[in-house]
Amino acid sequence: MPMSTDASELPPPGAQDMWLALTASQLGAAHQKTGQPNQDAVAARQIRPDVLIAAVADGHGHRRHFRSGRGSLLAVAVACEAAEDLAGRLADFQAPGPIESEALGKLVPAITGRWRQAVRDDVAADPFTAREEAARGDDDALIAYGSTLLLAIAGRRWLVLVQIGDGDIMGIQPDGRPLLPVPGDPSLDGQQTTSLCGTRAEDEFRAAVVDASTTPLLGVMLATDGYGNAQAADPWADAVSADLAELINDRPREWLAGQLPLWASRCASTDGSADDTTIALLIAPSVTGGRHAVPDEPATDEVTTVAARRLAEPKTQPDGQRDGRPDVTREQRPVARSRRPMVIAAVAVVVVAAVAAFLAIRLSSSSGTTPTSCSSPSAAVAKHATVSATSATATATSAAVSATAAAVGATAGAGKHAAVSATVAAGPRVGAVSNPCDGGKAGG
């Protein structure tokens, strides 16, 4: 079974051929205030050891879509079910074109057809109340259940993605760059969204197929718009993908599973989008064997506590700051940093300091003229170390020790959790999207 954040176990170490699904969903502050339920939904299904299906849906918050919470639950259920046939045959395909054609030509109609039938079955089992009938007016029953849908079928070689409506699907590449393969939809202008409840839903799906043999990925993230609307950076994919690449490489799966609800909660808070926020993080087979905590790292519980505290803090920094750190571009941020270059840098600082001290002593003894100071080169992660030859050997030795301490200190600090969170809030930005299905989605 695929694992979610509320699961008690994760796949055992060494499960190298299995995709791993971590999921989290959080009620938005706006809905919490009004007493509305979470209208997002998420589901994941492992149909074979090397094939995983995951779906995320966002029910519309407008009054016309008064059963959209049910609509999103039905959407993820029928999408996973309808995707099983294609998922079971992924290994038979040799090129992406036929997969995309089948996804749009067969899978999408299967999803929309099953969703419409599921809605009608739900209405038959639980008819609209008098109040709901008044709210519905002349709308088709489908309008009340309106929802977006994001679906991923992840196999050993092929990654199949289909989407209708807003939300984000982002691949995470090994170098930290984001991969955004699903075509954009120009009709999603922040005020409107396409939807399963639309009469032309089949035509409004977008699809993409990624060949992992030529475009390797560390993972894939599916998220409702409550996540993207909470990010400080705009566009935010570069910074978030870089953070996630580092975390996937450096952190155990258990740590990531513990963090996901915290990231969703931060985004759903009044300091974020205040909207329901749902995330599905799929980790590729190449890294699901897992990296276990190394001795110099805090235990998982300790790290999670620190992360929770940071994520719970209200955002007081001005725009352009991410949890107190400058919001930098992908080119400015190193990704998947290793301790080895830092150790080499530390050793280099010590060697340079020693050589500088030796030369200073020789110059002092041979010419009687002592230079005032000599600055050692600064490594990428080391502080500047100044070596003074004024006090000859004793001072030089002290400076060398200081350089060593500075380098080791910087190394240890950089090796810690520089990016505890991949989720950064930008202040209240409730998604006031209107007119899905010629209706509205405010805050949904």
Preceding amide of 235 cis, omega within 30 = yes
Strands (E), 73-217: 149-154, 158-164, 168-172, 178-179, 206-211
Q: What is the pLDDT of residue 344?
A: 42
Q: Which helix (H) or strand (E) holds 387?
A: strand 386-387
Pick 342 or 154 by higher pLDDT: 154
State mean pLDDT over 370-376: 26
Buried b (16+ CB within 10 A) or exposed e, 93-113: beebeebbebbbeebbebbbe
Query: pLDDT category, 298, cuts 50, 70, 90?
Result: very low
Residue 151 dihedral angles phi and psi, to the nearest 5°: -135, 135
Q: Which of 23-27, 233-237, 242-246, 387-391 has the lowest mean pLDDT?
A: 387-391
150-208 pLDDT per residue, tens:
999 999 999 999 999 999 999 999 999 999 999 999 988 777 899 999 999 999 999 99
164: which strand partners? 149
Query: pLDDT category, 286, cuts 50, 70, 90?
Result: confident
Q: What is the pLDDT of residue 10?
A: 53
172-182 pLDDT per residue, tens:
999 999 999 99
Q: What is the pLDDT of residue 317?
A: 31
Does pTM surpass 0.75?
no
| Residues in CB range of 94: below 8 A, 6 or more apart | none
Residue with tokens 């030859």: 389
- The conformation of residue 48, written as its DSSP 8-state character, comes to E
CB 118 within 8 A of CB 76: no
State mean pLDDT over 264-290: 89
Pick 230 or 385 by higher pLDDT: 230
State mean pLDDT over 92-106: 98
Pick 384 or 147 by higher pLDDT: 147
Pick 395 or 54 by higher pLDDT: 54
State mean pLDDT over 141-148: 98
- The conformation of residue 422, written as its DSSP 8-state character, comes to S
Query: pLDDT category, 219, cuts 50, 70, 90?
Result: very high
Each as own residue / partner, the long-range contacts of residues 29-33 (CB below 8 Å, 24 or more positions apart, any chain) are 29/268, 29/269, 29/270, 29/272, 29/274, 30/274, 30/275, 30/430, 30/443, 31/61, 31/275, 31/276, 31/443
58-77 pLDDT per residue, tens:
999 899 999 999 999 999 99
Residue 136 dihedral angles phi and psi, to the nearest 5°: -75, -35
Conformational region of residue 14, where left means phi above 0, alpha means psi within -120 to 50, and beta covers everything else: left
Q: Where are the alpha helices (H) located in 126-236, listed in sequence order? A: 130-136, 141-144, 201-204, 225-228
Query: pLDDT category, 444, cuts 50, 70, 90?
Result: low
Please give the mean pLDDT across all residues of the chain.
73
Pick 363 or 67 by higher pLDDT: 67
State mean pLDDT over 111-121: 98
The DSSP secondary structure of 285-352, one letter per residue, reads: TTTTT--PPPTTSPPHHHHHHHHHHHHHS---SPTTEETTEE---GGGS--S--HHHHHHHHHHHHHH
CA distance 166 to 271: 21
- Rank 258-267, 348-357, 432-441 by mean pLDDT and report only the highest: 258-267
**Token digits of residue 314:** 């209200």
Query: pLDDT category, 216, cuts 50, 70, 90?
Result: very high
Residue 441 dihedral angles phi and psi, to the nearest 5°: -130, 15
Residue with tokens 């910087």: 410
Whether 347 has a pLDDT exceeding 80, the answer reads no
Q: What is the pLDDT of residue 288?
A: 55
How large a percentage of the chain has pLDDT more than 70? 61
Distances (CA, A) of 334 to 19, 200, 338, 361: 26, 44, 10, 38
**Token digits of residue 316:** 């007081």
Query: pLDDT category, 49, cuts 50, 70, 90?
Result: confident
**Token digits of residue 334:** 């190193």
Whether 232 has a pLDDT exceeding 70, the answer reads yes
Residue with tokens 């393969």: 181
State mean pLDDT over 423-442: 38
Other CB atoms within a 10 A radius of the CB of residue 336 amount to 15
